[in-house]
């Protein structure tokens, strides 16, 4: 019976360790234009909403964005403003946004503190800051809080003749969610290694 317990402990710890060191993938969000179908949004999301607003719809109770976020009961995890590279939110220490251009941005998990990633969904709000009324998108995703986020070719619009062109540019990206605190992967990795060590020590002691 004791051998079975030791085997189970080792297997669980090994599963934890190898699961945490597995490669991180990426979630991508793209805006495309097709002359036949118009503007389309593709990416790893469950739902997407879009529209135009003056001001910031996140803080306007009359806006659809505010109503969706309020109904979901989520809090601001992270907000990255392009102008001045300003970051706010409860998980500022865990993420970093890199604006490659006015139309492209990536968000990386950098560790630090605690990642509130359990359970999804997470809401991702992105807003144009160069034209009024401002264009925006709100994504509901099953993002785990660790995978790279990529936003490509946003703010494509078209003229009366159906020709695509760039209009606007990123104002900011905001991440919203709720859930219990989950330790960052490095801490969980240390825990897994500790369990392996204890299991090994117990096995030697019993011999």
Beta-ladder partners of 42: 30
Nearby residues of 179 by Cβ (< 8 Å), 6 or more positions away: 116, 117, 118, 119, 120
Q: What is the pTM of this model?
A: 0.74
pLDDT confidence of residue 161: 72
Q: What is the pLDDT of residues 136-188, one digit of tens each?
A: 999 999 998 889 999 988 887 666 676 667 777 899 999 999 865 565 555 44
Nearby residues of 58 by Cβ (< 8 Å), 6 or more positions away: 65, 66, 69, 125, 174
Report yes or no: 102 and 178 within 8 Å, Cβ to Cβ. no
- What are the residue ranges in the chain where pLDDT is below 70? 1-24, 33-39, 112-118, 157-160, 162-164, 179-207
Query: Where do the domains of the chain lie?
Result: 24-183
Residue by residue, what is the 3-state secondary structure of the chain?
CHHHHHHHHHHHHHHHHHHHCCCCCEEEEEEEEECCCEEEEEECCCEEEEEEECCCHHHCCCCHHHHHHHHHCCEEEEEEECCCCEEECCCHHHEEEEECCCCCEEEEECCCCEEEEECCCEEEEEEECCCCCEEEEEEEECCCCCCEEEEECCCEEECCCCCEEECCCEEEEEEEECCEEEECHHHHHHHHHHHHHHHHHHHHHHC
Nearby residues of 81 by Cβ (< 8 Å), 6 or more positions away: 87, 171, 172
pLDDT confidence of residue 131: 76
pLDDT confidence of residue 95: 92
Distances (CA, A) of 136 to 51, 84, 199: 6, 20, 52
pLDDT confidence of residue 170: 93
pLDDT confidence of residue 118: 64
């Amino acid at each position: 019976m004791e051998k079975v317990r030791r085997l189970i402990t080792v297997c669980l710890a090994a599963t934890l360790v190898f699961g945490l060191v597995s490669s991180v993938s990426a979630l991508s969000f793209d805006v495309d234009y097709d002359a036949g179908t118009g503007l389309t949004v593709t990416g790893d999301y469950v739902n997407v909403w879009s529209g135009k607003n003056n001001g910031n719809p996140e803080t306007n109770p009359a806006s659809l964005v505010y109503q969706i976020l309020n109904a979901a009961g989520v809090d601001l995890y992270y907000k990255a403003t392009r102008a001045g590279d300003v970051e706010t939110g409860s998980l500022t220490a865990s993420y970093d946004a890199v604006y490659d251009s006015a139309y492209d941005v990536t968000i990386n998990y950098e560790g630090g503190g605690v990642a509130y990633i359990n359970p999804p969904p997470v809401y991702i709000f992105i807003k144009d800051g160069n034209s009024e009324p401002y264009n925006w998108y709100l994504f509901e995703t099953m993002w785990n809080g660790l995978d790279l986020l990529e936003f490509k070719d946003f703010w494509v619009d078209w003229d009366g003749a159906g020709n695509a062109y760039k209009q606007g540019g990123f104002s900011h990206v905001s991440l919203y969610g709720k859930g219990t605190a989950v330790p960052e992967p490095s801490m969980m990795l240390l825990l897994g290694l500790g369990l392996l060590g204890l299991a090994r020590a117990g096995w030697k002691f019993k011999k």
